[in-house]
Amino acid sequence: MLRTSHPQTLTSWEVEYMGLLILKKGKEALDLAKLRWLLQNPLSKAVVNELLEKDESGSFRVEELLDSYPERPPSLSWFSFQAANKVLGALREALTIPPERFKQALKHPDIRRTIINALLTINEYGVQTPQRFHAPLMIVWNLTWRCNLRCKHCYQDAGPLRGDKSSNELTLSQKLDAIRQIADSLVPTLSFSGGEPLMDPDFWQIAEEARNQGIYLSLNTNGTLLTDEAAAKLVDLGFAYVGISLDSPTSEFHDEFRGVPGAWQRTVQGIKRLAHSPVSTVLSFTVTKYNYQTLPQVFALAQDLGVDKVMVYNFIPTGRGHYSAQLDLTPEQREEVLKMMYDYSASGGSVCSTAPQLGRVCYEFGHPEYIPLAHTGPGRAQQLAVLAQIIGGCGVGRAYLALQPDGRITPCVYMPDIEIGHITRDTIADVWTRSELLKSLASHQGLKGHCGICEYAAVCGGCRARAYAYFGDLKAPDPGCIKNRDYYWAAVGSSEEFCVQKDVPSLQTGTV
């Protein structure tokens, strides 16, 4: 049982932390071989084993260490205390956090879950490239099929165009049980999505329970329902991150894409209500063939609105998007977008993306000081290069899981029809450890096309959801990458109107 104290408001470094520990000594880069030796030698294993011992109450010894930091708890050996304390001290120095604030942060349940998850991961898997974790670092919960917009690309096929499916959704009691199970499974981060989560009548009660469990909370919303009251509630509940969808610097395209006149204006007002709050406010931009050239203007608008970051989402032709597959970028257009994101980051802007190819682009475009980490924007290469190899790229099956409105557990929100369990009959831990499909997705073995031979596989691996949407094969090449352009054009042909999941010849492992 995880020890919990009343959660405190997270600072910006904790918002960016998102469950990632940076191990760094001075200004030296920590290479993969050194990290493996550091964490897998017999002495380190002995320390990890001691930290993972449980006391009479069922708490891990490491929790006693975090309670007493920087002092030694009586139950911990001197050697294990010294080793663990040095790691924590190095982490604090790398993040430039004042000692007292760092001490307070170590008491926060989501950070504790991350640390325990990391220790259990080392104990079970060692250091891998890419790394599979003891438990997901994040669960994205598509809370409801309700939505007030009619978006062309909706992977969930939510809202009025779907019809009323709310009777199939989990009950309030089942949702609250799911929150407690997520907390008990050592999952540090929960992201509410939809549909439109703010349309779920249970949302605020569920969010409050998640807050009480000390889970790191984020929300993805279309922003049209972000009234002053709703924004204040999100702040009071300690939401760390809110992503708000805006697909154009002007209203015409956004309103047509989202299917409701006036949506752009209401979304912009919602962004303004949160932009200068303690919540990390993120402009979420779904990139398509018809709006990608406006991305620089969207970056400028984001700065004018005062948001903290821009999140560039892939369009994946699944759900309702299956019928609008022509919206997808060509590989050549996506390469332009990746370059725009890289340039924006390198010039000081803050950008994330669900496109795993951002990792490859940052290597290839070659600014020596920058490298991406797990879909985030570039960070300092000397500090993060080794983590990019471990955590970078598509997190499906390794660090991430999705929960559907009716309780089905799926590998990814962009794979809504692949059920691997159900929250009312299966535990998250059992699904995570026993699903052969997740184990297969976690491994790069058997990837086809250029993905199977790519030198950047550790920091990318391709988008498995895109591969599945196009070819019906989770190991198929990601046709969104420039290195798989032949597969994209074979699927699309010369027509602007095409259907996904065509049979494409020569989907062989490791072929170009």
Q: Does 153 share its domain with 164?
A: yes
Residue 189 pLDDT exceeds 90: yes
pLDDT band at residue 117, thresholds of 50, 70 and 90? very high
In a domain, 466, yes or no: yes
pLDDT in tens, 196-235: 999 999 999 999 999 999 999 999 999 999 999 999 999 9
- Asked whether residue 304 is assigned to any structural domain, the reply reads no
104 with 202, same domain: the answer is no
Same-domain status, 27 and 118: yes
One domain, residues 173 and 95: no
Indicate whether 256 pLDDT > 80: yes
Structure tokens at 395: 């997190």
Residues 107 and 21 reside in one and the same domain: yes
436 and 448 both lie in a single domain: no
3-state SS class at 329: coil
106 domain residue, yes or no: yes
Does some domain include residue 340? no
What would the mean pLDDT of 128-144 be, rounded to a whole number? 92
- Domain boundary residue, one of 109, 125, 141: 125
Question: Do 154 and 83 have their domain in common?
Answer: no
User: Quick one: pLDDT at residue 4?
Assistant: 57
Residue 118 sits in the same domain as residue 16: yes
Please tell me whether residues 91 and 178 are part of one structural domain. no
Of 380, 409, 441, the position where a domain reaches its end is 441
Complete DSSP assignment for 79-139: HHHHHHHHHHHHHHHHHT--HHHHHHHTTSHHHHHHHHHHHHHHHHH-S-SSPPPSS-SEE
Residue 308 domain flag: no
Q: Are residues 89 and 177 in the same domain?
A: no
- 18: pLDDT strictly greater than 50: no
Q: How many domains does the chain have?
A: 3
User: Structure pTM?
Assistant: 0.87
- How many degrees, rounded to 5, is the angle at CA 216 between CA 69 and CA 133? 80
CATH of the domain at 429: 3.20.20.70
If pLDDT is split at 50, 70 and 90, which confidence band does 507 have?
A: very low
Residues 33 and 90 occupy one common structural domain: yes
Question: Is the pLDDT reported for residue 100 higher than 70?
Answer: yes
Domain range enclosing 99: 12-125
Return the pLDDT at 394. Answer: 86
> Given 125, 140, 157, which residue is the final one in a domain?
125
Instruction: Please check whether residues 27 and 103 belong to one and the same domain.
Output: yes
How far apart CA 307 and CA 275 sit, in angstroms, is 5
